[in-house]
Chains A and B, each alone.
Chain A
Amino acid sequence: DGGITQSPKYLFRKEGQNVTLSCEQNLNHDAMYWYRQDPGQGLRLIYYSQIVNDFQKGDIAEGYSVSREKKESFPLTVTSAQKNPTAFYLCASSEMGQRPLGTEAFFGQGTRLTVV
């Protein structure tokens, strides 16, 4: 089945630890995205990537890092510099970016990160 897979579904992090969230897609999509969702805040863009070995910061990139070494993988690391990391993290992919006409995004099922 084609799709986008996030793991783990639930993740617990101690204060001061870095953690990495996995996102894999087998849709052969060029573009991949990471969003953060807090209650009542909607989705906010952390990072996005249009092509392998290239990525750009979104609106709330501070305290996060990403890599795009393979087309199908876009892992997100939540570093200890992120002061309030407890949230629901969503990864998405689309066939191409939103220019010129735009394409739909496919989302994973999310990872809920909690700091303990």
Chain B
Amino acid sequence: SQQGEEDPQALSIQEGENATMNCSYKTSINNLQWYRQNSGRGLVHLILIRSNEREKHSGRLRVTLDTSKKSSSLLITASRAADTASYFCATGSYSTLTFGKGTMLLVSP
């Protein structure tokens, strides 16, 4: 069963614009993580936010978590062509990580 669901499924923007992706989930979690995947490659961890945190920053990334709405958002500011990739949210509960289907981000020069 897929816990997280990203929205939108695909996003196309110009370099310099901000990109926002959302994730909704269904059950209680210990943490929520965001990962990035370039085509045909493994996933790379971007940021982890724990269930008692509301917002976290890392470089150009800003993640928010609203446990009452069971949702999270990932904001990438001042996007670059190199940010083109698929982005996945993953919820951590019990012993495993459960992933959503991802958002495909295309950043055009």
Contacts and interface: CB of A to CB of B under 8 A. Distances in A.
Interface of A: 6, 31, 33, 35, 40-45, 48, 50, 56, 58-59, 88, 90, 92, 94, 97-110, 112
Interface of B: 1-2, 30-31, 33, 35, 40-45, 48, 50, 88, 90, 92-102
B77 to A, nearest CB: 22
Given A43-B43, A45-B98, A101-B30, 12 more contacts: A42-B100, A98-B95, A98-B97, A99-B95, A100-B30, A101-B50, A104-B48, A105-B35, A105-B90, A107-B44, A110-B42, A112-B40
Contacts of B95: 31, 48, 50, 56, 97-99
A90 B42 contact: yes
Given A41-B101, A101-B50, A109-B42, A58 B30 contact: no
Sorted nearest first, the 3 A-B pairs with minimum C-beta distance are A98-B92, A102-B31, A107-B42
